[in-house]
Each structure stands twice: as structure tokens, then as C-alpha cells.
Amino acid sequence: MEIVQEIEKQKQYIEKVKKIHQNKKLKYYILTMGCQLNENDSEKLCGMIEEMGYEPTDNYQEADLVIFNTCCVRENAEDRLFGKLGELKKVKEKRGTIIAIGGCMMQEKHITDKIHESYPYTDIIFGTHTLQNFPEDLYKTLESKKKLQDVIDIDGEVYEGLPIKRMNNIKASVTIMYGCNNFCTYCIVPYVRGRERSRHPKDILEEIQELAKEGYKEVTLLGQNVNSYLRSEQWKEKGIDYHGINSFATLLRAVNEIEEIERIRFISPHPKDFTDDVIDAIANCEKVCKLIHLPLQSGSSNVLKTMNRKYTKEQYLNLVDKMKAKIPNLTLSTDIIVGFAGETEEDFEDTLDVVKKVCFEQVYMFIYSRRVGTPGDKMPNQVPEEIKHERFDRLKQLVESQIAENNQKYVGTIQKILVKGPSKNNPALLTGRTDSNKVVVFEGNKDVINKMVNLKIVSEHMWYLKGEEVKE
């Protein structure tokens, strides 16, 4: 079926569900367990669900519809899902709540088998390629009262024009590509998200222009490997050049032209594809934040090879040097996995060495978690748990000492902050983030909320900075 027709069909199902409920204000609860792409999917789900007449609640005990949008990148996500599903049993018995589970983990057969066996009260299971069918799935479940599974293995189409309910009113995420072709040996994502598919530049620009009109100030462009945007098979054959946009670098430049947008971020780029045109675009586009997330994963060339990352320690460090030379005031954040199969003490020390050399602004650290179906899981030389934990703690210590040192550099500087609102920990103060994504709190008038302000940083406190408004 044509994509436009498919979306039309789902819109009709939205109307049908509305009719069943006859304008009764039912409630829904959604829990998003994964990354920003997963959150962006949840925003699309919420858009459809609210059009079907449901109102959000943050108490699942009073919900008529509960949705879990799952992640399977690491093992703890599974324990968390099964724990939550157990808690739902009583609510289901009491209220007849519809339980729907979707997202990456539902693409794994051993997981859906377990749900059927141990949590048979689950009503709907849907995968990453069938999200847009949710209105149809829900309608069929409501009508037939039967359980339904809507998971397919083939790559889903790129659907445009679904309703969306954004979680934030100044910052928005915009998915620019789906899937991943890289098959890093530790990673499950390519198996559950399928091959790379890029959205058409026209659709992306229209979405961001619309966001700008609605008052959004910051956009984050999302993809598993953003710098291979438009290099996917789908465009390779057809070729594409939409008003000069034919790559990630040219997309960045086009987004930079959208007037009301003040800040542009993106995640994640892959170091192997970080071409000079992207570096130049970041340097030239004043709205692109000079904090770049550049996943390292390991600092050892041997481990990087078994991880199938396609760069060496030296290539990563050279890339960082090149970026720092071309982009003034560049800061970097990264992801690191500790204890991948075969990682020796020497390999781990290479990771510490890269961290010392680059001095990241932020490091997201993960203990390697074996994922069923990935090559990493079958590698013979797995690192014992206690060694993984011991290395993780050493890395954490190093990172924290670097962050503390780095924070000192902010004191006395003027930083541009996008003000989010009152601070959760102290509602008398306002909070926002710097270009480099640091949390800053300050005393200020509420009329600066949703605006950019200049703050002088007066003190640092490990996970946040304190600022004062600069009087013009």
C-alpha cells in the first residue's frame, strides 16, 4: 500500500477508536525506556493516542491504556520491563486496562515468547517497524478483546504526517534517519531497527520550520549514525539533491538558515564517517553547538577491531585533533563500553589514555552487556563480571576528576543559557543548559523562561554550575 494511503487508513482507525469511546475521557500512561529515538517514537505514539481521545496520566493505576516503549541495548532494560509488567497484573484485573508493549525489545523473539508465556495478560505487542499501525492495533483489540502481535522483520517504510505530541515546548528532537548498517559486534540495534533509511530533506526541513513557527528554539537531529545521512541504499539508487541538500553537512547548513531556531545539536555521529565537510559545516554554522558527541567505545585498537568500529585509537585521536584545530572552543562528549570480550588490562589502559588525552566534557559509561544474536555474545574470551566492575569504577574515578577540573574553567566565564524553567531541586531557582549541555541554576525572573540569557558563572558543583544574570 502507498504510504499516504496507509496513513489515511490509520487516521480512519483513529476516528473509529474515538467513536467506540464516545468522547469518554479515558486516560493513558506511557513509559519510555530507551534512547532519544525511542522518545521521539513515543511522541508519535502519544500524538496518535491523544487524537483517539485519551488524556495523559502519570499514574498507571488509573490508566485505561498503558504503553511501554522498550529498549534492549543493555540487559538491565529486560529486568526493568518484566518487573513493571508484573506490577500491571493487578491493575489489569481491577480495571481491564489495555496493556501495549512496543519498541526495540519486541523485535526479539525470545522476549515476545517470554511475554506470551509469563505475562499472558499483555494485549498488544508491536515492534519498531509497525509503530504507525497503533490505531489499527488498538481498534482491533478493543473490538475483538483478543491479544494481538504486530511485529515484522522487514525494514519499515519512512512514514510522514503522523500526529505528534512533543514532550517539551522549547527543545525538540527530529529523527533524520532510521536504522543502522554498522553492526558493531556488541550492539543489538541493527537487528531491531533494521537497515539505514533517511528521511527526505524536504520533510525534515518542513518539520523544523513548523517547530520554529511554534516557538521552538533548539532542535536535536537524531539517527544512529547521522553522518551517513542520505547515503542509504534507498537514496544511493535514486540520487538526491534537494535545494543543494545531499549529505549531512548540507542538511546542517540548511537547518542553520531557519531563522527562529537558535541551537542545533545532533546525535550520534560515527567517527569512521566524520568527513571534513561535516567538520567545516559545524565550524561555519553559528547555531550548531560546539559540543560534539563522538562515541569512542574503546581506546584500544585491538578492541575496536573486534568491535568492528573501523577506526583505531590513533585515527580517533587524529580526528579529535583535526576537529579541535578547525572548530574553535570545541568540547566533546562520548560513550565508552568497559569489559568487552577480549579486553585486557592493557586494552583498558588505552581507554584511560584516550580519556586523559581528550578530556571529554561528559562520558557516558557502560559495562558490556552480552546481547543474544550479536557476534560479541559468541566471543569466547568474555571478561569476568568483577573485572568489568573494577575497570568501570576506575574509569568513573578518572572521568569525575576530569569533570571537576573542567568545571573550574567555567567559573568567571559568560555562558549562553536556554532557560527551561524552575529547577526541580530548588523551585526558587531557574535552570537551563549551556551550549556545552552543562546544567546551570540561577536566580531570575520567570519571564526569561524559554529564552536565551547570558549568565556569568559564579561557582561549580560537580553536576551543575551556578550563574548570575549579566545586566546589559
Binding residues (CB under 6 A) for ligand SF4: these are 180, 182-184, 187, 189-190, 224-225, 270
How far is the CA of 82 from the CAs of 77, 252, 454, in angstroms? 9, 40, 46
Interface positions, 92-121, toward ligand F3S (CB under 6 A): 104
Contact flag: residue 122 with ligand SAH (CB under 6 A): no
* The three cell numbers locating residue 399: 572521568
Give the span between the Cα atoms of 41 and 48, in whole angstroms.
Answer: 11
Contact flag: residue 37 with ligand F3S (CB under 6 A): yes
Residues 6+ apart with CB under 8 A from 383: 339, 340, 341, 342, 343, 368
Interface positions, 66-85, toward ligand SAH (CB under 6 A): 73-74
Shortest distance, position 309 Cβ to ligand SAH, whole Å: 9
337 binds, among ligand SAH, ligand SF4, ligand F3S, none (CB under 5 to 8 A by kind): ligand SAH
Among 133, 227, 250, 268, binds ligand SAH (CB under 6 A): 268
Interface positions, 433-452, toward ligand F3S (CB under 6 A): none
Shortest distance, position 344 Cβ to ligand F3S, whole Å: 28
190 versus 422: smaller Cβ distance to ligand SF4: 190
11 versus 310: smaller Cβ distance to ligand SF4: 310
190 binds, among ligand SF4, ligand SAH, ligand F3S, none (CB under 5 to 8 A by kind): ligand SF4
Among 156, 295, 299, 467, binds ligand SAH (CB under 6 A): 295
Pairing of strands 171-175, 98-103: unpaired
Shortest distance, position 186 Cβ to ligand SAH, whole Å: 4
* The three cell numbers locating residue 380: 569466547
72 versus 358: smaller Cβ distance to ligand F3S: 72
Part in contact with ligand SAH (CB under 6 A); list of ranges 7-15, 57-65, 363-371, 419-427? 363-371
Give the span between the Cα atoms of 248 and 195, in whole angstroms.
Answer: 18
Binding-site size, ligand SAH (CB under 6 A) = 17
* Contact by Cβ (8 Å): 64, 28: yes
Interface positions, 184-203, toward ligand SAH (CB under 6 A): 186-187, 189
Contact flag: residue 304 with ligand SAH (CB under 6 A): no
Interface positions, 295-354, toward ligand F3S (CB under 6 A): none
Helix (H, G, I), strand (E, B) or coil at 472: coil
Give the span between the Cα atoms of 215 and 32, in whole angstroms.
Answer: 25
Give the span between the Cα atoms of 388 and 390, in whole angstroms.
Answer: 6
Closest to 413 (Cα-Cα) out of 312, 306, 341, 331: 331
Work out the widest C-alpha separation in the chain, in whole angstroms.
Answer: 66
Write the single-letter amino acid at 424.
Answer: K
Give the span between the Cα atoms of 158 and 174, in whole angstroms.
Answer: 13
Contact flag: residue 193 with ligand F3S (CB under 6 A): yes
* The three cell numbers locating residue 160: 510522514
Beta strand spans in 303-397 (E): 331-338, 362-367
74 binds, among ligand SAH, ligand F3S, ligand SF4, none (CB under 5 to 8 A by kind): ligand SAH
Beta strand spans in 57-106 (E): 65-70, 98-103
Contact flag: residue 34 with ligand F3S (CB under 6 A): yes
Interface positions, 216-245, toward ligand SAH (CB under 6 A): 224-225
As a residue count, the chain comes to: 472
Q: Residue 197: left if φ>0, alpha if ψ -120 to 50, beta else—which one?
A: beta
Instruction: Tell me what percent of the chain is helix, strand and coil, each rounded to the nearest 5.
Output: 40, 20, 35
Binding-site size, ligand F3S (CB under 6 A) = 11
Among 17, 30, 65, 73, binds ligand F3S (CB under 6 A): 73
Contact set with ligand F3S (CB under 6 A):
34-35, 37-38, 71-73, 104, 189, 192-193
Contact set with ligand SAH (CB under 6 A):
73-74, 186-187, 189, 224-225, 268, 270, 295, 297, 335, 337, 366, 368-369, 371
